[in-house]
Amino acid sequence: NNHQELLNIRVSLEIRDQNVKSVLQIIEKQADVRFSYSPQIVPIKKIVSVKANNKRLGDLLDDLLLPLNVKYLVSGNQIILQKEIKPVPASQPKAGTANSASIRAVKGISGTVKDEKGEGLPGVSIVVKGTQIGTISNVDGSYKLEVPEDKHVIAFSFLGYLPLELDIRTATSFDVALEPDTQTLDDVVVIGYGTQKKSDVTGSVATVSGKDVVKTTAAGVDQALQGRVAGVTVTANSGSPGSAVTVKVRGVGTVGNSSPLYVVDGVPLSSILSLNMQDVESINILKDASASAIYGSRAANGVVLITTKQGTSGKTQISYSGSIGVQSSWKKLDVLNAQQWATLYNEASVNDGLPINPELTDPASLPSYDWTKLAYQNGVIQNHQLSVAGGSDKGKYYLSINNLKQDGIIKTTGYERLSLRSNNSYKLTDRIEVGSSLSYSHSTRTSSGGEAGIEIDNRLAYQGYVMDPVTAIYKADGSENTSPYRTNSISPLVQMNYNKTKAYENYLYANGFIKIDLAEGLFLRSNYAVTKGDNFGDNFLPAYFASGYQSRKVNTYSSNRATTTYNVWTSTLNYAKDFNSHHLDAMLGYETQATKYNFITASRNDIPTSITNPTLGSGNIGSASNGGTQSASQLISFFGRVNYSFDNRYYVTANLRRDGSSRFGPSNKWGLFPSFAAGWDITNEKFFHSNLINLLKLRGGYGEIGNQNFADYAYFQTISTGSNVTFGSPEILNPGLAPQSQGNPNLKWETAKSTNIGVDIGLFRNQLNVTADYFVKYTSDMILRLPVVDIVGLVTPPYQNAGKMKNSGVELSANYRKDFGGLKLDVGGNISFIRNKVMNLGPAGNSIQVKGLINYAPIGITQVGGSVGSFIGYRADGLLQTQAEVDASSQPTAKPGDVKYVDINKDGQIDGSDRTIIGSPLPKATYGINLGLEFKNFDLSALFQGSQGNQIYSLVDYAMDGNVTTNSTTAILNRWTGPGTSNSIPRLTRIYNGQNVMPSSRFVHDGSYLRLKNLQLGYNFKPELLQAIHIEKLRLYLGAQNLLTWTKYLGLDPEIGNDPNANSPLDLGMDRGTYPQARAFLVGLNVTF
Amino acid sequence: CEEKLDLTPYGQPVEQTFYKTEQDAIQAINAAYYPLREIGQGWRNDLVVGDIGTDDAIKGGVNVEDNGGLLEKETYRLTSANATLALRWKANYQGIYYANIVLDKVPSIDMSEDLKKRILGEAHFLRAFYHFDLVKLYGGVPLGDKILPIDGKFAKASKEEIYAFVEAEFNLAKENLPLKSKNVGVNKGRADKGAAIGMMVRVSAYLNKMDKVRQYAEELFALNEYSLDPDFGAIYQPTGEWGPGSIFEINYYPSNDPGWLQGQGNLTATAAGPRTIGGWGFGQLKQDLLDEFETGDPRKEASTYLVGGQAYGTGIFNRKYSYTPYSKYEYAKVGSIPTNGPHNYRILRLADVYLMYAEAQYALGNETVAREYVNKVRTRARGDQPASVLPNLAASVSGQDLIDAIYHERRVELAGEGLRYWDLIRTGRAEKVLGPLGFKKGLNEVFPLPIADIILSDGVLVQNPGYN
């Protein structure tokens, strides 16, 4: 029969001096069987040697287990190991016990042990607490046991399940269900260049499962991490589908690029926008240096390790999951109607002594035009994924195809991606495994130029709100109108009709590996991966005329092609050995990474309008223009790691990496990055006894990591082309060459030194798990374009090593899981408090300033003593109410009704030296709360995510309420019109407006928010119902994204990230008309065949 | 594997391999001209930074709020955060840096000595030109007499020191540069001997050193290179570029270079044009200026034009920077950027020198010569009109009347050329003429230095008094 077949499998192996557990694991792999046993019953740490040469499995097990007093029985694919216990007849005194003389009454109890699915669980150890008396459950889970009358508690234990204790005084029959220990410490986590048992991890590593990330409608995996992990802050830069997000692991670690490194199936990548999240199995985030230092020079901002799905041996699984939904904006601004607007415009003219515009003399007679809805739409979002997974003991495969399509909530914006993936692995021989991972994606991002530049007028999300309501949407001839009251007034219709462009990306990822077992515990793995990203666009922009400012005289056709090729070759030699209670794990590696970038662009104008599908060649050759750039970089690395643990109590890890980078000059090419960490699992100490605490582990580590995230060739003094000048008769272009910046041959590695202390606690049989970490990270020799006075004459300041920054913080996460008999609860939360301080920034007085708008003073400042990207400006203190107040103020030229500024240095005038820090875009805390409920066939999950204590500088406020030529929110109706009428909204003025809109605390608002990010309610059909239609699993669900947002911020969205057009990582928290996050509702289903 | 890490840049030379050949030297000096483009560009040239807010021009645009930076200039409320001024500051110092590179690197290049001499002369000219623009805008500024280190802190040199440097540099340029008539063919438009001398006439006038104005002007006349274009109206036409009276111009050409303001074109005419024909309406002229023209003066028609129906402003526009149908220049005919116009920005022309020379001769007591030179200008302006139009100054015009006549002549001859503001300041008339418009004596003669450099200099660079 089946059982015999299993035991008849032939195995060949030779194991010397390994513990029983390891031997069993090796047999599991070889014979593709699973052992179930309770560690209390099998002496797993005993060192044994076994040898089999094409031996029957049954015989091998006899050889191995009989000497250990362990017997086995086969149940399905499992082999259950049991202690050979000869039940002691209770009526007879136990031999050799101290109280053998007394005869005890005995109570017979019986019952069945079941697993979480309600099926009988064989092999469970059942022991009368405080005695040696016990038994093992049978194949069907049933058991019988005779318990001395004076004993009241029996204990059930089984590996992989939570232990259970039972008071038996109330009855004689007990059917129990064991809960699986989902927090099992034998879970494996992916770490750099390998895996590690979760229990052995000494650094700060957080795990997110693929099942969780797919609950979001976001297009990217990075965005889906929002709210999931303590210390990882994710902010969407824009609500436009397919746009980038800002991910910070443990704060803004440097003034340069502070994005983390992504590693997909062992391949380090700088971006994962094209990765289909449905293919993601799990995500591990290495937060501290002791964990991430193995990635050396690319790890200073944390490492996000992503494992994609692999096939499993057994039945082929075909799955489809799909969802469709609709997204829309969740907030609108109340703006003025024509009558209100014209009245206020006139009021400003009167205040300034300017004549009333003739067409505005009778506001009541003006028709109102509602521009606010022109750009908005309800966007349809869809996601379809079909996957096949399966395999045998010789090979495994996973294939998927995915189509994601999202229409933005703003017309002309959208994102569509088609992706394919094939993950395969084959066992060529007992010792050699090869595999490949291929993925290809084609994406199209549509936008309208409505997100270009840093001017609010260009932002489609706001153009309709900014446009005055007196101006008609269309001119008399039916063409798009623009406002005559404002130079740079842009109609959203113009933007949408004449500036729509598409950007495409083809992204290929190919990765092949070979793994060779060289000897027991020793293997070589070599991995070669190529990624090729082709970003391109072929766009025709028509000629049009809306106004002198808003026009394109001639149509134009442009093509651009950017190819980034990245090759990485990684080879590691891994060795693992157990001897007695010692465990050693060592790795040596070598890696090369080469990146090449090639960009070309070309355009021509005057495409004849008769051409339906223009190409470059169809334009006027006289208008031809072209250009291009190329660059390359190379990294070469050697690295190694040793993990050692003793008796599951003490853990030590040490990493060392040496990186060579082409980005540095000859004397600074190489950097060395060491780290080490230690852990102590107190629960495994003999002295430790607690029923409450079942895990208490202390961790500590230190590491140094590098950063070389800056431009190629910065150490060269390059002489730029392009400073051309026209001379001659006839005029010709003469090339001019001059430096734009200065090379810095002394440039060296930026280094982050970080220390981490953490504790992992498991309570109530691991129902409650708590992790707490404290970290301090010092970044020194930051590589930045240190500002240089314009007097030197550079166009761009050179890269220099300067300054030091400190990030420190506390991260807490907790998770509670419990099964209340039918109702399963899983609730978790995480919160992190991170403080940032710039300690040094090169020469005294240096600061890095970021402009709010092109013609607006800098409002973002990074300077010593403060945190990065702080807001600088004047401190507004209400309004000057009367002429007497004006006279007493430091603003002699002000008028009553103007904003009053605090004279910080009390010198009697308001000038640049009165500017001060008026806010910070960095949150004091970021947090997430996830909730999971399962009841019968229903499941419910919710994710809340929030940010607390950050501020937003609202340039939207500045643009809308600071200027009467734009429309304004209805708040402006409460403006100052005489003493006491308002203390916050100044009098209306056109000429002296600049006084009231200087960068000040007036435009700084609380940006805290709490958001119900995801909500999903699912229904799982009963398997019995599905069998008839050959479906294994079927789940239907309803979901909502961004359903509720609680915030005091009055703009369209409080989630303001790093402005994608500001081109500075220090440009934070400035609302320039950010494309808001959408609210989405969707329905979906998951089917497995 | 070490050599794999030795990667060199694509597409551009590195310093180690550049500055070796004659061609490198030519390309290096070409680059030193590049920042001139910023200085003559529509958003920041003296038509706006200078003339707006004088009795000649208003800011214009679509309404009073349009372009807050220029509104600051118009209302004399300039701040150190003014982006327009910051661009002029930056462009001038970039030019100084590029000229200093030429003076540092070119001498050791093995090349034709004649060419080397010319190139070094151009570098001296440009270094002087940029310093002069700075001292005119800001008064004393940090001196760029060599390549400045990036970690340096730079205090201001005095206004006098800068002017002394400017004069020395223009004189070195004069020694090295060829005559305008030798800069032909591919070199037409490069700085020449006459330009260096002519600029010294202006520099001397701004210093109110009238003996030097006379000296340099006569030196210029002695070159026998320049004459007044007989047709005043032809000067600001495409064919008038580098005409017989032109001493120096910033060259623009509507090439296909991509990018906003980055091409070889000039948006001045677009910025100054009526909104009704695709312009932006900045720098519209005042009635006060129109009233200054004598009845029948053909220069009024040649310098200004009226277009009704403007939403904002006077409706009086500057014909010297205009396009069809108001001049023979076309409106941004090539390239996708509508502002990429062909107008050269005229820096200095002979009539200006004649009038400065007249001023100098007047100051030095030679009224006859002064009248003679004013009359040369008037005669040309009159063209083929009868002598009753713009009659010559009679010998009886003398003393205050004469200097007033010279000032009058400057205002109408040079209307819309960006010189009014500086003329009023250098002749001490600013408070009287501009005071009612908001000008404050002792403050507005110079502009505030950009705040970014003030902050970065950590107290070493001191802001001009009275500005925040």
Complete DSSP assignment for B243-274? -TTEEEEE--------STTTSS-B-HHHHHS-
- Find how far residue B81's CA is from the centre of its chain: 23
Confidence at residue A87, expressed as pLDDT on a 0 to 100 scale? 45
Looking at the structure, do residues A67 and A17 belong to the same domain, yes or no?
Answer: yes
Task: Give A712-730 pLDDT, tens digit per residue.
Answer: 888 999 999 888 899 988 8
Q: Which residue, among B342, B352, B344, B321, has the nearest Cα to B419 in the 3D structure?
A: B352
Least confident of A890-894, B10-14, B148-152, B268-272: A890-894
ipTM of the complex: 0.95
Class of domain B18-177+438-468: mainly alpha
Q: Which residues from B are below 8 Å from A847, CB to CB? A: 455-456
Least confident of A172-186, A436-450, A857-871, A1010-1024: A172-186
pLDDT value at A153 more than 90: no
- Find how far residue A956's CA is from the centre of its chain: 28
How close B366 comes to chain A (CA, Å)?
A: 40
The partner residues of A231 in beta bridges, in order of sequence, read none
Confidence at residue B189, expressed as pLDDT on a 0 to 100 scale? 93
CB contact under 8 A, A728 and B189: yes
Distance CA A343, CA A967 (A): 12
Of A556, A630, A911, the CB nearest to B10: A630
Nearest CA in chain A to B101: A738
In a domain, A33, yes or no: yes
Q: Which residues from A are below 8 Å from B63, CB to CB? A: 485-487, 965, 990
How close A301 comes to chain B (CA, Å)?
A: 23
Full 3-state SS string of A759-792 = EEEEECCCCEEEEEEEEEEEEECCEEECCCCHHH
What is the Cβ-side half-sphere exposure of residue B400, based on CA atoms within 13 angstroms?
0
Q: Which residues from A are below 8 Å from B190, CB to CB? A: 727
Task: Give A41-83 pLDDT, tens digit per residue.
Answer: 677 777 788 888 888 888 888 888 877 778 787 776 678 787 6
Given the DSSP bridges, would you call strands A70-75 and A10-19 parallel, antiparallel or unpaired?
A: unpaired
Q: How many Å is the Cα radius of gyration of chain A?
A: 34
Of B66, B96, B189, the CB nearest to A793: B96
Higher pLDDT pick, A450 / A457: A457
For CA atoms B298, B303, B307, B313, give the dihedral sign.
negative
Least confident of A165-169, A843-847, B253-257: B253-257
CB contact under 8 A, B461 and A354: no
Q: With beta carbons less than 8 A apart as the criterion, state whether A886 and A899 touch.
A: no
Of A636, A790, A965, the CB nearest to B453: A790
Of B5, B184, B458, the CB nearest to A669: B5
Per-residue pLDDT band for B459 (boundaries 50, 70, 90) equals: confident
CB contact under 8 A, A727 and B11: no
Q: Tell me the mean pLDDT in the region A736-752.
A: 91
Element (H, E) at A1071: strand A1070-1071
Confidence at residue A185, expressed as pLDDT on a 0 to 100 scale? 45
Confidence at residue A141, expressed as pLDDT on a 0 to 100 scale? 86
How close B378 comes to chain A (CA, Å)?
A: 31
Distance CA A474, CA A910 (A): 45
The total of other beta-carbon atoms located within 10 Å of residue A8's CB is 11
pLDDT value at A490 more than 90: no
* Mutation target among A725, A801, A904, A992 for the B interface, most CBs of B within 10 A: A725
How close B187 comes to chain A (CA, Å)?
A: 5
Q: Which residue, among A267, A261, A195, has the nearest Cα to A222 in the 3D structure?
A: A261
CB contact under 8 A, B336 and A662: no
Per-residue pLDDT band for A135 (boundaries 50, 70, 90) equals: confident
* Mutation target among B63, B188, B248, B451 for the A interface, most CBs of A within 10 A: B63
Q: Which residues from B are below 8 Å from A666, CB to CB? A: 6
Task: Give B375-425 pLDDT, tens digit per residue.
Answer: 999 999 999 999 899 999 999 999 999 999 999 999 999 999 999 999 999
CB contact under 8 A, A486 and B75: no
pLDDT value at A742 more than 80: yes
pLDDT value at B336 more than 70: no
> Which residues, including other chains, have CB under 8 Å from residue B89's CB and lie 6 or more apart?
A790, B134, B137, B138, B449, B450, B453
Confidence at residue A737, expressed as pLDDT on a 0 to 100 scale? 95
pLDDT value at A446 more than 50: yes
Q: Give the highest mean pLDDT range of A231-240, A393-402, B353-362.
A: B353-362
Confidence at residue A436, expressed as pLDDT on a 0 to 100 scale? 95
CB contact under 8 A, B457 and A990: no
Confidence at residue A101, expressed as pLDDT on a 0 to 100 scale? 40
Residue A149: domain span = 106-177
CB pairs under 8 A between A and B: 280
Q: In degrees to the nearest 10, what's the CA dihedral of B158, B164, B170, B172?
A: -120
Q: Which residue, among A571, A574, A587, A570, has the nearest Cα to A521 in the 3D structure?
A: A574
Tokens at residue A291, please?
A: 């964990």
For CA atoms A862, A868, A872, A875, give the dihedral sign.
negative
Nearest CA in chain B to A632: B7
Supply the CATH number for residue A55's domain: 3.55.50.30
Distance CA A309, CA A389 (A): 9
Of B36, B185, B456, the CB nearest to A789: B456
Looking at the structure, do residues A28 and A62 belong to the same domain, yes or no?
Answer: yes
Of the candidates A121, A145, A177, which is a domain's last residue? A177
Q: Which residues from A are below 8 Å from B38, CB to CB? A: none
CB contact under 8 A, A735 and B27: yes
The amino acid occupying position A234 is V
Tokens at residue A394, please?
A: 């010789």
SS3 A586: strand
Looking at the structure, do residues A78 and A27 belong to the same domain, yes or no?
Answer: yes
Least confident of A546-550, A867-871, A1001-1005: A546-550
How close A403 comes to chain B (CA, Å)?
A: 37
Distance CA B368, CA A1038 (A): 97
Per-residue pLDDT band for A91 (boundaries 50, 70, 90) equals: very low
* Mutation target among A792, A794, A895 for the B interface, most CBs of B within 10 A: A792
pLDDT value at A207 more than 60: yes
In a domain, A157, yes or no: yes
Q: With beta carbons less than 8 A apart as the criterion, state whether A705 and A683 touch.
A: no
In a domain, A24, yes or no: yes
In a domain, A929, yes or no: no
> Which residues, including other chains, have CB under 8 Å from residue A257's CB and lie 6 or more apart?
A301, A709, A710, A1065
Supply the CATH number for residue A170's domain: 2.60.40.1120
- Find how far residue B24's CA is from the centre of its chain: 28
Given the DSSP bridges, would you call strands A1033-1047 and A280-286 parallel, antiparallel or unpaired?
A: unpaired
Q: With beta carbons less than 8 A apart as the criterion, state whether A323 and A1082 touch.
A: yes
Q: How many Å is the Cα radius of gyration of chain B?
A: 22
Task: Give A660-711 pLDDT, tens digit per residue.
Answer: 999 999 889 999 999 999 999 998 888 887 778 888 999 999 999 988 888 8
Distance CA A86, CA A74 (A): 20
CB contact under 8 A, B264 and A733: yes
CB contact under 8 A, B15 and A990: no
CB contact under 8 A, A733 and B468: no
Given the DSSP bridges, would you call strands A582-605 and A556-579 parallel, antiparallel or unpaired?
A: antiparallel
Task: Give A320-379 pLDDT, tens digit per residue.
Answer: 999 999 999 999 999 999 999 999 999 999 998 888 888 899 999 999 999 999 999 999
> Which residues, including other chains, have CB under 8 Å from residue A956's CB and lie 6 or more apart?
A456, A462, A1051, A1052, A1071, A1072, A1073
Q: Which residues from A are below 8 Å from B338, CB to CB? A: 551-553
Q: Which residues from B are below 8 Å from A669, CB to CB? A: 5
Of the candidates A177, A207, A236, which is a domain's last residue? A177
Of B30, B62, B455, the CB nearest to A734: B30
Confidence at residue A90, expressed as pLDDT on a 0 to 100 scale? 40
Task: Give A816-871 pLDDT, tens digit per residue.
Answer: 988 887 888 999 999 999 999 999 888 777 788 888 887 777 899 998 999 999 99
Looking at the structure, do residues A79 and A7 belong to the same domain, yes or no?
Answer: yes
Confidence at residue A99, expressed as pLDDT on a 0 to 100 scale? 44
Q: Tell me the mean pLDDT in the region A415-422.
A: 95
Look-up of token digits 């991260």: A811
Distance CA A309, CA B167 (A): 75
pLDDT value at B231 more than 90: yes
Least confident of A233-242, A643-652, B212-221, B251-260: B251-260
Of A631, A720, A727, the CB nearest to B187: A727
Percent of chain A with pLDDT over 70: 96
Tokens at residue A566, please?
A: 């990245």
Per-residue pLDDT band for A241 (boundaries 50, 70, 90) equals: confident
| Distance (Å) of CA A438 to CA A418, A419, A421, A424, B394 | 14, 11, 6, 9, 93
Q: With beta carbons less than 8 A apart as the criterion, state whether A801 and A256 touch.
A: no
Per-residue pLDDT band for B342 (boundaries 50, 70, 90) equals: confident
Q: Tell me the mean pLDDT in the region A117-124.
A: 80
**Number of domains comprising chain A:** 2
Q: Which residues from A are below 8 Å from B335, CB to CB? A: 605, 623, 625
Per-residue pLDDT band for A129 (boundaries 50, 70, 90) equals: confident
In a domain, A783, yes or no: no
In a domain, A597, yes or no: no
pLDDT value at B319 more than 90: yes
Given the DSSP bridges, would you call strands A1070-1071 and A951-954 parallel, antiparallel or unpaired?
A: parallel
Distance CA A216, CA A214 (A): 5
Of A553, A666, A911, the CB nearest to B332: A553
Of B10, B16, B86, the CB nearest to A631: B10
Q: Which residues from B are below 8 Å from A727, CB to CB? A: 186-190, 251
Beta strands in A488-619 (DSSP E): 501-519, 522-541, 544-545, 551-552, 556-579, 582-605
The partner residues of B404 in beta bridges, in order of sequence, read none
Task: Give A384-407 pLDDT, tens digit per residue.
Answer: 999 999 888 889 999 999 999 999
Q: Tell me the mean pLDDT in the region A965-993.
A: 90
Element (H, E) at A724: none
Distance CA A116, CA B62 (A): 74
Q: With beta carbons less than 8 A apart as the criterion, state whether B263 and B254 touch.
A: yes
CB contact under 8 A, B9 and A713: yes
Q: With beta carbons less than 8 A apart as the criterion, state whether B138 and B166 touch.
A: no
CB contact under 8 A, B184 and A844: no
Q: With beta carbons less than 8 A apart as the criterion, state whether A192 and A640 touch.
A: no
Looking at the structure, do residues A171 and A117 belong to the same domain, yes or no?
Answer: yes
Given the DSSP bridges, would you call strands A395-407 and A188-191 parallel, antiparallel or unpaired?
A: unpaired
Q: Tell me the mean pLDDT in the region A962-970.
A: 89
Higher pLDDT pick, A992 / B265: B265
pLDDT value at A792 more than 90: yes
Q: With beta carbons less than 8 A apart as the criterion, state whether A255 and A862 touch.
A: yes
CB contact under 8 A, A548 and B275: yes
Tokens at residue A147, please?
A: 């318990």
For chain A, the first-to-last Cα distance in angstroms comes to: 28
In chain B, domain spans: 18-177+438-468
CA angle B234, B239, B241 (to 5 degrees): 90
Q: Which residue, among B75, B38, B32, has the nearest Cα to B53 in the 3D structure?
A: B75
Distance CA A580, CA A583 (A): 8
pLDDT value at A1 more than 60: no
Q: With beta carbons less than 8 A apart as the criterion, state whether A930 and A211 touch.
A: no
pLDDT value at B177 more than 90: yes
Q: Which residues from A are below 8 Å from B138, CB to CB? A: none
Of the candidates A128, A147, A177, which is a domain's last residue? A177
Nearest CA in chain A to B275: A548
Q: Give the highest mean pLDDT range of A81-90, A1022-1031, B362-371.
A: B362-371
CA angle A719, A721, A727 (to 5 degrees): 125
Confidence at residue B261, expressed as pLDDT on a 0 to 100 scale? 54
Confidence at residue A104, expressed as pLDDT on a 0 to 100 scale? 58
CB contact under 8 A, B97 and A793: yes
> Which residues, including other chains, have CB under 8 Å from residue A2's CB and lie 6 or more apart?
A74, A76
How close A795 comes to chain B (CA, Å)?
A: 7
Nearest CA in chain B to A482: B62
- Find how far residue A119's CA is from the centre of its chain: 39
**Cβ-count burial A279-318 (b if 16+ within 10 Å, e if not):** bbbbbbbbbbbbbbbbbbbbbbbbbbbbbbbbbeeeeebe
Task: Give B282-312 pLDDT, tens digit per residue.
Answer: 999 999 999 999 999 999 999 999 998 887 8
CB contact under 8 A, A793 and B62: no
Nearest CA in chain B to A795: B94
Looking at the structure, do residues A73 and A6 belong to the same domain, yes or no?
Answer: yes
How close B423 comes to chain A (CA, Å)?
A: 27
What is the Cβ-side half-sphere exposure of residue A43, based on CA atoms within 13 angstroms?
13
pLDDT value at A100 more than 50: no
CB contact under 8 A, A487 and B12: no
Q: Which residues from A are below 8 Å from B463, CB to CB? A: 912
CB contact under 8 A, B28 and A712: no
In a domain, A631, yes or no: no
In a domain, A79, yes or no: yes
